[in-house]
Structure 1
Amino acid sequence: MTDEITDPRDRLLDAALLHVPFDGWSDATLRAAARDVDLSVEAARALFPRGGVDMALAFHRRGDARLRARLEREPLDGMRFRDRVMTAVRWRIEMIESREAVRRGTALLALPHHAADSTQALWETADHIWTALGDRSDDINWYTKRATLSAVYGATVLYWLGDDSPEQRDSWAFLDRRIEDVMRIETAKARMRSNPVLMRALAGPIWALSRVRAPRGIGRTDLPGRRFGPGQGGTRRGF
């Protein structure tokens, strides 16, 4: 016997998934979902003030929460680091409840006035993965890691939406290639750091980047970080 869902936000999201293929993430879907769970439209709008876009974002973040729970239950210790990252991204995509809901959400969040919401949602997913995998960076690497993984995740989801190969094998091959591209970038960075002439030429930009720090506090993925003044920062760590 399954536990009854008591969170009204989850109840509304589950009901909405039946309507999203027809009406998208819209006010029409919000109203229909509210009717299905015997909730007033006013109460539903109090939970999702911007209607469809807030529902789409809540649906995305529910997937993130489920991924975090799985990574806590099934830590990926013992794998090569690239394989840990790839597995976490694959798990996140595999636990998507509705491909059409993601397709409709992607179309909605691609609108220019939702660009900030879309970027933040991808960033949060990348941050959850890096944090679960034990990332402890607090300098510019905190940003480059999340920016790179956001791009990898976003590109893989778009590919997955159009993938009709058996068990989405083409999507996982695409993901593997994107992770390999990232590894090549890391190799190039290592070669740059081992080149004394190049490091001297880039001394100014490197010093400036070494002043950047990740946001203070756990779970704050919406902040631009902080910059240390002279004498306040630590030593720069590798990318």
Structure 2
Amino acid sequence: MDDKDVKDRLLDAALMHVPFDGWSPAAFDAAATDSGVDPALARAICPRGAVDLALAYHQRGDDEMIRRIHTEDLSAMRFRDRVAAAVRFRIEAADDKEVVRRGSALFALPHNAADGARAIWGTADKIWTALGDRSDDVNWYTKRTILSGVYSSTVLYWLGDESDGHQATWEFLDRRIDGVMQFEKVKARLRDNRAFNTVFAGPLALIGKIRAPMRPTDDLPGRWPGPQ
């Protein structure tokens, strides 16, 4: 049994306790007991305990989203609808609101905030990549930043949504996506505006040097290539 199998066993066992105990040391210890995983091995696989399991739960949701993007026929959809569908797939991958709510509380803590932001950024990156994004400049960052905001705000709306079939959430998502599309139209108009390009020639030249990550092993989400 490899590390992933052990972590999956711990996660499956923890999900029974998280709605009551949160992503806490108590839930982690109970998961180790229920799964039959030796506590020392559990700590070796998950050094940060329940935080690592919460991140594994998020990754599991991302994996299910990717599976649906690749298996469902989205070819007839407008691109903005494909993005909305991907966000919906990701939210529907969570089968227990309370588990997600507890995760939101965990990653709202200052010492876990970076992990939470990284997980949301990762979800946005997976969506754009799965949908065929080919941007390699500053747009690589703006697309993921904006979609991270759309995804996180929609999740928060969904947590409080009691409408039939979460219809109110999907309408909220559509409005957010429409807002993004309007923003992209404004960006396109500015790119074609001669006066704007003249006034901001310096900053635009600097922005034009920004490139998307070139290697999966990069420690940071991007790079500054310097003079070329």
Matched, 1:95 2:93: yes
Tell me the equivalent position of 1:157: 155
Q: CA RMSD in A?
A: 1.4
Residue aligning to 2:223: 226
Per-residue deviation, 1:77: 2.0
Provide the residue aligned with 2:108 in structure 1.
110
1:65 maps to which of 57, 63, 68: 63
- Could you tell me whether the CA contact under 8 Å between 1:13 and 1:59 is conserved in 2? yes
Q: How far apart in 2 are the matches of 1:203 and 1:164?
A: 49
- Quick one: distance in 2 between partners of 1:107 and 1:98? 15
- The partner residue of 1:30 within 28, 36, 50 is 28
Measured after TM superposition, the shift of residue 222 of structure 1 is 5.1
> Which TM-score applies when normalising by structure 2?
0.94
Quote the residue 1:191 is aligned against.
189
* TM-score normalized by the length of structure 1: 0.90
- Counterpart residue type for residue 226 of structure 1: R
Q: Count residues in correspondence.
A: 225
Report the Cα offset of residue 41 of structure 1: 1.4
Corresponding residue SS for 1:135 = coil
CA distance in 2, matches of 1:222, 1:204: 28
- The alpha-carbon deviation at position 59 of structure 1 amounts to 0.3
- Uncovered stretches (5+) of structure 1, i.e. residues with no partner: 1-5, 233-239
Question: 3-state DSSP class of the match of 2:40?
Answer: helix
2:108 and 2:17 map into 1 onto residues whose CA distance is 20
Cα offsets for 1:83-116 (capped at 9, x unmatched): 0000000011011122111100000100111111
Superposed CA offset, 1:14-37 (max 9, x none):
111110011100111111111111
Map 1:195-206 to 2 at 5 A: 195-206=193-204
Q: Does structure 2 conserve the Cα–Cα contact (< 8 Å) formed by 1:124 and 1:221?
A: no
1:169-226: CA deviations, max 9, x gaps?
01001100110110111111111122111111111111101101111224x5851422
* Structure 1 segment 123-202 matched on structure 2, within 5 A: 123-202=121-200
Gaps of 5+ in 2: none
Task: Please list the CA deviations of residues 123-171 of structure 1 after superposition, one character each: whole Å capped at 9, or x if unmatched.
Answer: 0000000000000111101100000000000000000001000000010
Distance 2:104 2:114 in 1: 13
Q: Percent identity?
A: 58
Q: Distance in 1 between matches of 2:73 and 2:118?
A: 25
